[in-house]
Structure 1
Amino acid sequence: MTRQSQYKVSRDETTHGENGEHHLIRGEGSSMRLWHREAPNADKPMSTHPYETLGYVIEGRVDLIVNGETVSLAPGDSYRVPRNTPHTFRITETLTALEVNTPATDR
């Protein structure tokens, strides 16, 4: 499948990551992904990534555990996970969230 434009990615051109995320558009310095209707979870392990994540909760509820602090997020809330910082997400209500990673990543 070839992309029609460097400025647009259509829905049928998106790819899916190993954790169920939808990879949307990728720029020179950042990339965007969508977590769509993610089911509640209770035991997702901590992880650390070499990129910063900025996110926005569209629907559902989730607890972000970052650097030892638990932050409860609801629709309309934005969040930040600094690069190289241990974190996890505990989804408490089916979640849809949009994230931007910097630098760009396909994960």
Structure 2
Amino acid sequence: MSPYKVSQSDTTHGTDGEHHLVKGQQSSMRLWHREEPNADKPESTHEYETLGYVIEGKVDLIVNGETVSLQPGDSYHVPAGAPHTFRVTETLTAVEVTTPGTDK
């Protein structure tokens, strides 16, 4: 594996539909693909900040009790330590960057 390239065969998958793409010194990137609605996903908090971009599909992001509906072309931000969850309403593909980087 080159320090500048991560091949698909070198990436890992998580349990919630995330595909861990690349991790740098300060951040990491992952691709989400969720086909099924998930209205019962519990709220969580993380020690990292998340920036994301919706490629296709629709999702409701709930951050600090506020619901934001996202669709293709929308970007989003989840601050570190903010209680949040999401509800996939249409098959979702999104890319996220977390800072500091994470394997979760």
- With normalisation by structure 1, the TM-score equals 0.93
2:51 is the counterpart of 1:64 = no
The CA deviation string for residues 41-65 of structure 1, in whole angstroms up to 9 with x for no partner, is 1110000000000000000000000
Structure 1 counterpart of 2:51, which letter? L
Root mean square deviation, CA, Å = 0.9
Q: Identify unmatched segments of 5+ residues in structure 2.
A: none
**Partner residue, 1:46:** 43
Confirm or deny that 1:82 pairs with 2:74: no
Runs of 4+ in 1 over 4 A off after TM superposition: none
State the distance in 2 between where 1:35 and 1:93 align.
13
Corresponding residue SS for 1:12: helix
Contact 2:6 2:22 in 1 (8 A): yes
Shift of residue 38 of structure 1?
Answer: 3.6
How many residues end up aligned between the 2 structures? 104
2:16 match: secondary structure: coil
Aligned to 1:15: 12
Q: d(CA) in 2 for partners of 1:68 and 1:83?
A: 15
Identity value in percent: 76
TM-score, scaled to structure 2: 0.96
Show the counterpart of 1:106. 103
- 3-state SS, counterpart of residue 92 of structure 1: strand
Unaligned runs of 5+ in 1: none
Question: How far is the alpha carbon of 1:37 from its aligned partner?
Answer: 3.9
**Which letter does structure 1 place at the counterpart of 2:78?**
V
Paired position in structure 2 for 1:6: 3
